[in-house]
Structure 1
Amino acid sequence: MTPKAGRYVAGAAAGLAVALSLTACKGTADKAAAPGGDKPGGVHLPTAQDALAKVSSQTAGLKSFRATMSMSTGASGQQTRFTGKLAYRLKPTLAMKFVIPSMNVGGRTSPGISEILVGNELYMKMPALAARSGKPWVGLSFDKLKKSSGLDLKAMGDQGSQGDPTMNAKMLTASKDVRSVGTETVGGVSTTHYQGTFAMQDALTKLDGEQRAQAQKSLGQSGIDKMAFDIWVDGRQLPRKMSMATPPGAKPDMKMTMTYTAFNAPLSITAPPKSQVADGSDLMGGGGANQPA
């Protein structure tokens, strides 16, 4: 599994869906005319677009991040909400830990989940799986699962890397109406707040070949064609908070917010003890006997 494809797997494993964020400018912007014209709020459009380009460039060098993720999705009249903590290592090897203490599904609180991704192994901890397997954790090998059952977790993970600010920042540069809406403090850090929308098809053109191919599969399944976003950017041109949502009345109804708490901090993400891990290939219809390492 390549690092780029792995980001989709990691996100899907974490149950992510869609989100972003950025920041910009002064609350009372100078309204003097500038070549090319100004957008509402007195901010010259190229300035805001340049800011997104700088964020995209800056996030490309990230090795890791920590974040709090909140998500709300609505489909078939049922709303699902959760807030979890995400630790994500991009380089030199992919690894992820995502913990959701609890979820609210249709107005009812249900047990949460924990997920760990190390290499090609995904480990999941949730009551339903523990009751079936007899152990706290269930482990799945991506490669062996596809071989034994035909299930492709890479494809299932197409929407999953939404927590990754590197990919998100690339997609935001597709916006044609981004504008600065003021300055705000996020987590004790001064930021500039940007707002805008983008068409998903335009955003896909900003991604690299493998990223784009995976995201296109996901796009076809989701039916989402446009997203609105907010992003709060600090003085280092790094996103401190990102939020993305489908337009009002869209189906599915979805909103995700990422609040980043650390960048490039050392992360120690390890697999659960082997004695606590059950083979998940049978539970997923595999039938193989691969035991996660």
Structure 2
Amino acid sequence: MTRQAILIAGPTASGKSALALRLAREAGGVIVNTDSMQVYDILNLLTARPSAHDLEIAPHYLYGHVPPAFSYSTGRWLADVEALLGRAELSDKPVVFVGGTGLYFRALLGGLSAMPDIPAEIRAHWRRHDAEHGANKLHAILAGKDPLAASILRPSDSQRIVRALEVIDASGRSIVDWQKETGRPLIDPRTTRKIVIDPDRAWLGERIAMRFQTMMTSGAIEEVSQLLALQLPNELPAMRAIGVKEIAEVIEGRSSAEEAANRAIVATRQYAKRQMTWFRNQLGDDWERLAYP
């Protein structure tokens, strides 16, 4: 386990990266990405990855290291973190984990449940069904196969619904049962400083709008053009990043930039609301709660 760690969770656009940068600079530490979208290459602006200036202030790891053609998982992230923490040059460095993916924080503190191997044909089957029929249809199928998992998943959460269907088909056991079998944590929850940013929603909404407008004028359209040129399946996580679908419609001449920005801003605000709800319900009293960084 790493000797000194700080965890900073929070919704998108809440200022958590700036707080992480300040704390890492003060402690002489490094920053590790704890956000499932910021791992992907190409989507620098759209996923709000650290700027070149930020990278000069403190070392950053696990940002943009995954090609968008891959479907990166929590298990893969945890394995990458474990390898990173084992590097000799980081053995005496404080580590600041920052991001908005709750499952990454949960895995870091409590270990990751063992999961069955998913045969390629089962994975392809359910991803094809997701692309053809959508999340609501798959949620109804899951309710018949695994009622317990269906009861705790949002009908619109296609990624987790597909995962639950894969697991029940591959193993005959509910993903909920597998998740009860926790693994080994990588850091000690008792000695780790844990911070969650819980900002005012109106303030956050304005920041989201301003940030996305800046993205649109700073190269986000060019990023999506690069991504679309790869001709990747729409069900891949990178293709589902907020802003990709909206900007793709601009590129294809089916929407104006203003309309696309407005839709992406609404989607980002809805996503931030879900993040805040998860953090409030899932993170315990041992987390410091800040209204803003």
TM-score range, shorter chain: under 0.3
With normalisation by structure 1, the TM-score equals: 0.25
Higher helix share: 2
